[in-house]
Structure 1
Amino acid sequence: MYCIHLYIIDHIDVVLYYLRKKSKYSVNSRYKYTTVDCLFKTKITDIYAAYANIESKNCVATIENDIREYINGYRLMAAIPWNTIDNVLIPVNVKQKNHWVLAVLSLIERHIHVYDSYRAAKHDSFVREEIQKLAQLLPMYLSMYYDDNINDTQDLNIPFDVTYVKDIPQQRYEYLSDGNDICVETIDAELLRIRYGALLWEYAAKKMEDGAVRDNEAPPKLNRKPCSEMDSSEIVMIN
């Protein structure tokens, strides 16, 4: 089961990479976005757990540096700094249900829109628990690094509002990346996987045919300070 989970993560990350690349080079698109990878939410969860436990001595400075790198566009291939776009696509794994949902963070609206292909009372409670971690922590990091790019009249430490989008089927990421309405037709999951595989194969074949050389899309790395033990005055309480 663990190997299958890693296999799924790899496939999701590949799709998200090509969406980042599409956004980065689609200069005429009105829908400005970027994506993170599957590990982003795991790091948020680790930070949340450390802050929620007042007696924890775990140092999360290194993980917080990782979040800062995501926001500044230093973490991923074909990344875009968040102060240059309007939306961030975040894959969220609901571990208790072995289920994935998509959270779309609107930086302009200070709002998280959650797209979930399955709705049920108990299931929804697990999803809300995971999304709340994003809603509470992300405003803090954005206020630390993007004060100059966001309206000063807003209290950046107020948690983001969250909307759970209703009446949606399983859907394709590119409907969101192109800013289109969600397709309501039933989707054949197996056919969708074949379609993505064919698109990636066609992309690679065209690059070889044209003799194209891959751009160096690796982001620059920041120098990191060594992690020190957390001081009691630095502990953040999470309700």
Structure 2
Amino acid sequence: MSCITPEHHVSQYIRGYKLLANISWDSVDNIIIPVNVSESFHWILIVFRIRHRCLYVYDSMMGGVIHSKNVLDHVRSFSTMILMFLVATNFYEKRSDIDWHRKAAYIDKSLSEPLEYVILKDTPQ
């Protein structure tokens, strides 16, 4: 994690310094992330629900082995990358409203373990 520093652009976003709304991630429960799957010329939506420790993926173009693989590659990258930035920015120390040791989604999970993710099916277009 030596390349992840508090000065990194993503760290700045998480801490609320680069957002148009200037709201840091430690003051909200859900993070909405639009993701361009450039290989498919398509956008998906990832909603990170912090309390659930899960990325919920909305994809209106379900189907096709290649498309599904491209989406999964992006989601897996985010599930690892987001977690590394949260640890690097001391995110978990700032959320005193969540008891990390008792919250079901965090029990028996290392802070370095990738986030869970769910690909939601049958979402309306």
TM-score by length of 1: 0.44
How many Å separate the matches in 2 of 1:80 and 1:111? 20
Do residues 81 (structure 1) and 21 (structure 2) align? Answer: no
How many Å separate the matches in 1 of 2:13 and 2:39? 26
2:67 counterpart letter in structure 1: H
The 1:100/1:160 distance shift into structure 2, 3 A limit, reads same
Offset of residue 62 of structure 1 = 7.3
Q: Secondary structure at the match of 1:108?
A: helix
Structure 2 unaligned segments of length 5 or more: list them. Answer: none
Pick aligned residue for 1:158 from 113, 118, 125: 113
Provide the aligned length of Structure 1 versus Structure 2: 113
Alignment of 1:196-211 (within 5 A): none
- Alignment check: 8 A CA contact 2:5 2:11 kept: no
Q: Secondary structure at the match of 2:52?
A: coil
How many Å separate the matches in 1 of 2:36 and 2:54? 19
Pick aligned residue for 1:146 from 91, 116, 119: 91
How many Å separate the matches in 2 of 1:136 and 1:105? 12
The 1:97/1:73 distance shift into structure 2, 3 A limit, reads same
Offset of residue 64 of structure 1 = 6.4
How many Å separate the matches in 2 of 1:110 and 1:61? 21
Which 4+ residue blocks in structure 1 deviate beyond 6 angstroms?
none
Pick aligned residue for 2:73 from 129, 132, 137: 129
How many Å separate the matches in 1 of 2:7 and 2:41? 26
Offset of residue 169 of structure 1 = 2.2
Q: Aligned-pair RMSD on alpha carbons?
A: 2.2
TM-score by length of 2: 0.80
Radius of gyration: which is bigger? 1
Greater per-residue helix proportion: 1
Pick aligned residue for 2:36 from 93, 98, 102: 93
Q: Percent identity?
A: 33
